[in-house]
Amino acid sequence: MFNHVTDKLRIWPWLFLALVFTCIIAFVAPYQIGVLVWSLTKLSLGAYLGYWIDRSVFHYCRPHALITSTLTTSQVHALAAAMIRRAIIIAASILALGLGV
């Protein structure tokens, strides 16, 4: 249980920094909070949709399903390709929503 929580919080310095900058924006330019929330919403929705687009289109080739106890060179290449494919799809969906497409 404790290990699960610490695993989720391993990137806490970035979260803390984001919250500090949000507080600074709220103090300096409170009218920009709506824009910030809208941008974060689009970013999060793009990441979520990209992940599920990859899972639904490539349901037979998920990266975690390719991991076994011993990997051959071709299996390592397939795993790397699946991970890069997923990253590209997620990045493309984030960019599409971020650019307003």
**How remote is the C-alpha of 85 from its chain's centroid?**
14
Mean pLDDT by 10 residues, the chain (101 residues): 72 88 93 90 93 92 81 88 94 92 55
Full-prediction pTM beyond 0.75?
A: no
Residue-by-residue DSSP string for 37-88: HHHHHHHHHHHHHHHHHHHHHTTT--GGGG--SS--HHHHHHHHHHHHHHHH
Tell me the CA distances in angstroms from 70 to 11, 50, 66, 74, 75, one per residue in order: 30, 30, 11, 12, 9
pLDDT at 15: 86
pLDDT at 101: 55
